[in-house]
Amino acid sequence: MAENSNNKTEKIISLCKRRGFVYPASEIYGGFANAFDYGPLGSQLKLNLKNEWWKRFVVERDDIVGMDSAIIQNPKVWEASGHIGSFTDPLVECKKCHKRFREDHVQEIKAKFNTDANAETGSRIKSGMTDGEKEMLVCASGGEHDFAEAKNFNLMFKTFIGVTEDSTSTAYLRPETAQGMFINFLNVTQSSRVKIPFGIGQIGKAFRNEITPGNFTFRTREFEQAEIEYFVEPSLDESKKWFTYWLARWKEFFTDFGIRDENLTIRAHDKSELSHYSAGTSDIEYDFPFGMSELAGVAQRTKFDLEQHSKHSGIDQKYFDEVNGKKYIPYVVEPTMGVDRAMLAFLVDAYDESDGKDGREIGEVTLRLHPKLAPIKVAVFPLMKKEGMPELAHDIIADLRQAGIATFYDESGSIGRRYRRQDEIGTPFCLTVDFDSAKDKSVTVRDRDTMKQERIKIAELKKYFVEKNI
């Protein structure tokens, strides 16, 4: 990654806040660590991203159907999937302040600063400690932490269903969307005439009580996933074939919507990293300003999940393959991506500061978002607030909106300033109504990337923008 990479992250975070892409959550109450709210532009960008994903992988394919499963399922789902048994880290909890820390982290800090367990609280704080390190040694309610015995901490968020709060009413927020598709495997095969190979796609929230969230929206406790469970004949050869296929389609999704190929890497998991069910997993990593990190992945989940659900539910999850006259539990290939991570990668890749050679001032920011992702497609400006220009601009907006084109009206400041405001949020086209527009029934359209301007007939605008693939 280029020099000043931390600086770049800071600039993107600041742009996101200032222009309404992403805000820190619960800000008026002092914030809520590592949680974020998407603002007017961010929510639209995220929706555009999800819509393009859904269109490409569900709507435009014969072999994939969509679904939208419940976030809170019967806890038996998570027993069967292995999330209740595994998915853990050993944690200690303070009985007074109820803060939890990873036990090994507390021990590391104690060893690092040589603070023994019986030392006076005051003397425990040493110079050079970070706030996080101090927090691990000193209780917020005063004095030392009073840690209960270490427990394996499950990363799933727990909640209670109904009025009693005990083990019989415990339920979990889903830590992945995948299981919602596995537990509906029979429903889908019985209701939608799909034939193997076929997939189920889903976009939805997942929740993980991550111990080390961070890097803006890269790792949060509440996030969205877009996943496909693709069911194939039960052989490693078939699984491998579809794995290769999906890895290519998955990467293509990112490059087609603007991420530069050189910023993506495919990294195969080595044996020690593989999940217990996986016969092979590869991550697609992106060169984030904070380092090469997982953006998406494709895993060969074999028949693990459906077999587990057969065992735990007592309902046979076999599929009858009419073509081969065989009954079997299919193998599964799972392409998955984090929507928030994808959005962050699209933002980072699109962020461009001018070097002054493209007609912009040095340091001016253009967000070179793919037009399909851009939250606003066309900004409409009257050159002046007179001679019917605002009225004509509003008529054009009404017309474009009818065609489903997201527009934005701006009449304040010079045209140059208005262009800059739109470049910074990634609007691909700006349209200016001027003194001649009423007479020649035309407007000037300026392209964000080439900065070229064209005179276009008002009657031709919709066709023009459709051809621009917005």
3-state secondary structure of 350: helix
Q: Is residue 280 close enough to count as binding ligand ATP by CB under 6 A? A: no
Residue 315 · residue 186 · CB < 8 Å: yes
* Beta carbon of residue 54, minimum distance to ligand ATP (angstroms, whole number): 17
Question: Candidates 2-10, 60-68, 192-200, 333-341 — which segment interacts with ligand ATP by CB under 6 A?
Answer: 333-341
* Chain-centre distance for alpha carbon 111: 37
Shorter beta-carbon distance to ligand ATP: residue 282 or 437: 282
Q: CB count, 10 Å around CB of 192?
A: 11
Q: Which positions from 396 through 415 interact with ligand ATP, judged by CB under 6 A? A: none
3-state secondary structure of 231: strand
* Beta carbon of residue 222, minimum distance to ligand ATP (angstroms, whole number): 8
Residues 91, 275, 92: CA angle, nearest 5 degrees: 0
Q: Which positions from 153 through 192 interact with ligand ATP, judged by CB under 6 A? A: 176
Q: Is residue 220 close enough to count as binding ligand ATP by CB under 6 A? A: yes
| Cα torsion through 19, 25, 26, 31, rounded to 10 | -100
Q: Which positions from 295 through 324 interact with ligand ATP, judged by CB under 6 A? A: 295-297
- Choose which of 210, 238, 321, 387 interacts with ligand ATP (CB under 6 A): 210
Shorter beta-carbon distance to ligand ATP: residue 19 or 219: 219
> What whole-number distance in Å separates Cα of residue 232 and Cα of residue 335?
13
Shorter beta-carbon distance to ligand ATP: residue 223 or 331: 223
Residue 84, CB-side half-sphere exposure with 13 Å CA sphere:
12
Residue in 216, 285, 213, 212 with CA at minimum distance from that of residue 9: 216
Contacts of residue 172, defined as CB under 8 A and 6 or more positions apart, other chains included, come to: 72, 73, 75, 78, 83, 84, 156, 157, 158, 159
Burial class, 315, CB count within 10 angstroms (exposed 0-12 / middle 13-18 / buried 19+):
exposed
Taken as a whole, the chain contains a residue count of 470
Q: Is residue 83 close enough to count as binding ligand ATP by CB under 6 A? A: no
Shorter beta-carbon distance to ligand ATP: residue 340 or 410: 340
- Report which residue's Cβ sits closest to ligand ATP: 338
Question: Candidates 143-151, 196-204, 216-224, 350-358 — which segment interacts with ligand ATP by CB under 6 A?
Answer: 216-224
What residues form the annotated binding site for ATP? 208-210, 218-223, 294-295, 338-341
Question: Candidates 260-268, 292-300, 353-361, 432-440 — which segment interacts with ligand ATP by CB under 6 A?
Answer: 292-300
Question: Candidates 83-91, 106-114, 215-223, 234-242 — which segment interacts with ligand ATP by CB under 6 A?
Answer: 215-223
Residue in 281, 207, 209, 210 with CA at minimum distance from that of residue 244: 281
What residues form the annotated binding site for substrate? 102, 176, 223-227, 334-338
* Beta carbon of residue 81, minimum distance to ligand ATP (angstroms, whole number): 12
Shorter beta-carbon distance to ligand ATP: residue 337 or 397: 337
Shorter beta-carbon distance to ligand ATP: residue 219 or 418: 219
Q: Is residue 294 close enough to count as binding ligand ATP by CB under 6 A? A: yes
- Choose which of 302, 308, 336, 422 interacts with ligand ATP (CB under 6 A): 336
Q: Is residue 337 close enough to count as binding ligand ATP by CB under 6 A? A: yes
> What whole-number distance in Å separates Cα of residue 188 and Cα of residue 183?
10
Q: Is residue 34 close enough to count as binding ligand ATP by CB under 6 A? A: no
User: How many chain residues interact with ligand ATP (CB under 6 A)?
Assistant: 16
* Binding letters toward ligand ATP, positions 361-400, x by CB under 6 A: ----------------------------------------
Angle between helix 339-350 and helix 40-54 axes, rounded to 10 deg: 110
> What whole-number distance in Å separates Cα of residue 7 and Cα of residue 24?
18
**According to DSSP H, which parts of 75-224 are helical?**
76-81, 103-113, 121-124, 131-137, 178-182, 185-192
Question: Candidates 86-94, 219-227, 380-388, 445-453 — which segment interacts with ligand ATP by CB under 6 A?
Answer: 219-227
3-state secondary structure of 134: helix
* Beta carbon of residue 265, minimum distance to ligand ATP (angstroms, whole number): 14
* Beta carbon of residue 465, minimum distance to ligand ATP (angstroms, whole number): 32
Residue in 468, 438, 437, 445 with CA at minimum distance from that of residue 380: 445
> What whole-number distance in Å separates Cα of residue 361 and Cα of residue 357?
8
- Choose which of 179, 225, 407, 437 interacts with ligand ATP (CB under 6 A): 225
Q: Where on the chain is the footprint of ligand ATP (CB under 6 A)?
A: 176, 208, 210, 219-220, 223, 225, 294-297, 336-338, 340-341
